[in-house]
Amino acid sequence: MAKQPKSLNGRVVAITGGARGIGKATAAALVREGARVAIGDIDAELAQRTADDLGGGVRAYELDVTSRPSMSAFLDSTERDLGPLDVMINNAGIMPIGPFVEETDASAVRQLDINVHGVLFGMKEALPRMLPRRSGHIVNLASVAGKSGFPHLATYCATKFAVVGATESVRAEHKDSGIEFTYVMPSLVDTELTSGLKAGRGIEKAKPEDVADAIVEALKVPRVDVFVPKVVGRISAVMQAMPRSARESVGRMLDGDKVMVQADMAERAAYEQRAAASEPGHLEQTEEEKQPVG
């Protein structure tokens, strides 16, 4: 018998990195479901503009996901203004690309801080609020890069493998807690994060709304691992059953080894610079910094 979908009406949802892209689209989808939504973002002004645009009583807060006190303050404010936390969506992340040996240590540390510690802090701060009520749902944004390695994306892949592994582990620790866990694995999504990138053969870039709809679906009818688009999950399942040589041949056939390597870095310049400066006090760029990099 099919599970009866859960209603999201009145549920309190906190979303990190909610000012733009997938976070914004997810907030919009949840508002349509009647949820009470809080978005946290390093760019507080943009978060407030996004909240104003979305309407539906969305609240916006400044959030640095690399700081556990900031995460705690974000969820404290959410619960003060909207009520007890029902859903935590750890969405914030950055994706610099380039050859591994040319990656700066600062870039690697920043990716680990945002993509990994941001998710860990989100879970560590959300779970104590949910466990006493034996109710809640944690959604972590991973990536297809959390299942496969891609050239010119080594550290990012490492962070997304970490998100997948951490979610599975924490879920196992709390299997009888009444709390649901989901990790979402999009392919390329048409946001600023994938500017200058073309999807591989046979797979179109997903829309942020596609990921948002998948998240809403997983909240209504809980699932642990969610691929977007769904065909990527089917491809992944088939490939995992293959010997390594065959799996790598199929990956090359789908251009998986070329997507990042052939990136248009001039087109990505604005994103790469913003990702490198994604911390409090460093969002504003000088005119010199705004110039495209060669």
Asked whether residue 5 is domain-assigned, the answer is: no
Query: Which of 43, 94, 17 minimizes the C-alpha distance to 283?
Result: 43
Decide: 213 and 30 in contact? Cβ < 8 Å.
no
pLDDT tier, 52 (very low <50, low <70, confident <90, very high otherwise) = very high
Decide: 25 and 209 in contact? Cβ < 8 Å.
yes
pLDDT one-digit tens code per residue, 182-217: 999 998 887 877 777 776 655 677 899 999 999 999
The pLDDT of residue 148 is 87
Segment 176-186 mean pLDDT = 97
Query: Which of 229, 216, 177, 223 minimizes the C-alpha distance to 87?
Result: 216
Q: Enter the pTM of the model.
A: 0.87
Asked whether residue 4 is domain-assigned, the answer is: no
Structural domain range at position 211 = 12-276
The pLDDT of residue 228 is 93
**Catalytic one of 61, 156, 183, 271:** 156
Asked whether residue 3 is domain-assigned, the answer is: no
The pLDDT of residue 247 is 65
In the predicted model, what is the mean pLDDT of the chain? 87
Domain count, the chain: 1
Tell me how far apart the alpha carbons of residues 253 and 245 are, in angstroms, rounded to a whole number: 12
Measured CA to CA in angstroms, residue 240 lies from 150, 167, 204, 205, 248 at distances of: 16, 20, 21, 22, 10
Asked whether residue 290 is domain-assigned, the answer is: no
Asked whether residue 288 is domain-assigned, the answer is: no
Q: Which residue has the tokens 């003060």?
A: 80
SS3 for 136-194 is EEEEEECCHHHCCCCCCCHHHHHHHHHHHHHHHHHHHHCCCCCEEEEEEEECCECCHHH
Whether 61 sits among the annotated catalytic residues: the reply is: no
Asked whether residue 285 is domain-assigned, the answer is: no
Tell me how far apart the alpha carbons of residues 212 and 215 are, in angstroms, rounded to a whole number: 5
Sign for the CA dihedral angle at 250, 256, 261, 262 comes to positive
Task: Identify the CATH number of the domain in which residue 215 sits.
Answer: 3.40.50.720
pLDDT one-digit tens code per residue, 240-278: 777 877 666 666 666 566 667 777 778 788 888 878 876
Tell me how far apart the alpha carbons of residues 290 and 41 are, in angstroms, rounded to a whole number: 22
Phi, psi of 158 (to 5 degrees): -60, -40
Segment 103-109 mean pLDDT = 96
Asked whether residue 293 is domain-assigned, the answer is: no
Number of other residues whose CB lies within 10 A of the CB of residue 109 = 12
Asked whether residue 190 is domain-assigned, the answer is: yes
